[in-house]
Amino acid sequence: MFRLQRKSPTALPAIARRWFGNTTPARALPKPSLNFKHFRDNLEHIEKNIVSRNLRSVNVRQVVNLYDKFCDLTQEINHLRSQRNDKVKEIGKLGKEAKTKAGQVLLEAAKVIKEALKEKETSFEELEKQLYKLALSIPNDTHPEAPVGEEKNAKVVKVVGEPRKEDWKLKDHVELARSLDLIDLEAAAEVTGSSWYYLKNAGALLEIGLIQYAMAKAMSKGFTPVITPDVVKLDVAHCCGYQPRDNEATQIYSLNSDETADSTHQLCLTGTAEIPLAGLMSNKIIPEEKLPVKLVGFGRAFRAEAGARGADTKGLYRVHQFSKVELFTFAKPEDSNRMLEEIRALEEEIFTDLGLCFRILDMPTEELGASAYRKYDMEAWMPGRNGWGEISSTSNCTDYQSRRLNIRYRSEASSNSKSKKPNALEFVHTLNGTACAIPRMIISILEQYQTEEGHVVVPKVLRPFLGGLEVIKPQGA
């Protein structure tokens, strides 16, 4: 585990405090606004959804039972508080007579109520923690058209282009990149470890060019550029749905000097810019006229588990750190399905303009993350794998993240809407999609654009971002 040693602001030299100011203290996120009534009223439907996602450890029935106890205990506490307040008023009315026998009886009764209330409140705190811990494991609902089951049940929505076949042997990206001096895996293994890498020469230019191209493309569609922090609070990551499935190792790199700290103060490296982009609006109210809010963020993604050895992890395919351009949208509930298709269309345009052969999949229930209501994956043809490899993922998370991060919008008065109250606060829907995951994109370009001579033709749309470079050749060639 990586650890980040953090010092108190008072330990900073005076000159540093003068320049950088006082640090803002960490604030706990508000309590998630979970819809327990929905859990109780739709118990069987939610259980079926959990089964279809293959989440054996999630028990919504236990959550409902705990919630019933929670409600009963809340009533008991409120009743005791009412009794306590009544006794306080009675004692106040006695004035000087409070020391009389009648007054002492009231004081004793108030003391008994106070002790009973304290005991109930302690039980309440423990029950509430247990309730929310279990309830937060319940996944989002699932779109009725999503395929059911494991990955092989994914529905092919569209195929763009034809998988490349040649009379001569196509090389994989590792062989190409080494011959063109674009990567150094061995040096990275010495410096950091396995599944890390250096990009060099035109390899480094490809990363920079792809980032600029994807950002520019998204901005042309109305997305606002954001550079995100690569470190977030652990509870923000959890609120976004990033927690391991049953019996799976965590993907999160934790950063903390105190391993006993709770998630309010624990830090972690981001697994995707989706997390800080979602957190950007946490605990905020967005005016309805500002929706949808469309963001395109650039950040580094860190994944603790890079997987076992084999073709699936060779070279740049599955690594611990990579650059990524992420699309993120906050939308009104009635617009989120349309926004999902808009994000998907933008990604399709990015990959089509790059001249890639790829396919679009409607992903089945067992492949959905906890937050995803519906998810599309895009896979490029990778000759080195002689198969398809994921290059993008796009999800509609409905109100899963906004309920946990307290992101709402204030609806305007509308003569066309009888279901909404003017100025009512409602939770937004959040959506995310990968505009460009750099290593996978480099793999796709190297393998799909290679020549028989071992060179790589640069896609036309990328050339302006690579100083006009048209063909990547060995140095000196």
432 is in an annotated binding site: yes
45 is in an annotated binding site: no
321 is in an annotated binding site: yes
393 is in an annotated binding site: yes
Cβ–Cβ < 8 Å for 139, 55:
yes
390 is in an annotated binding site: yes
319 is in an annotated binding site: yes
Cβ–Cβ < 8 Å for 324, 301:
yes
54 is in an annotated binding site: no
* Residue whose pair of structure tokens reads 């060779």 in the numeric block: 314
CA distance 437 to 325: 6
CA distance 143 to 21: 48
* Residue whose pair of structure tokens reads 């790059």 in the numeric block: 354
305 is in an annotated binding site: yes
413 is in an annotated binding site: no
Q: 427, 456, 119, 444: which is closest to 285 by C-alpha?
A: 427
Altogether, the residues listed in the chain come to a count of 477
304 is in an annotated binding site: yes
322 is in an annotated binding site: yes
CA distance 431 to 95: 62
Q: 33, 247, 238: which is closest to 137 by C-alpha?
A: 238
Distances (CA, A) of 63 to 12, 41, 54, 142, 168: 46, 12, 18, 19, 60
- Among positive and negative, which fits the CA dihedral 114, 118, 119, 121? positive
What's 98's DSSP letter? G
Would you list which residues are annotated within the binding site for L-serine?
Answer: 272, 303, 326, 432
Would you list which residues are annotated within the binding site for ATP?
Answer: 303-305, 319-322, 390-393
Would you list which residues are annotated within the binding site?
Answer: 272, 303-305, 319-322, 326, 390-393, 432
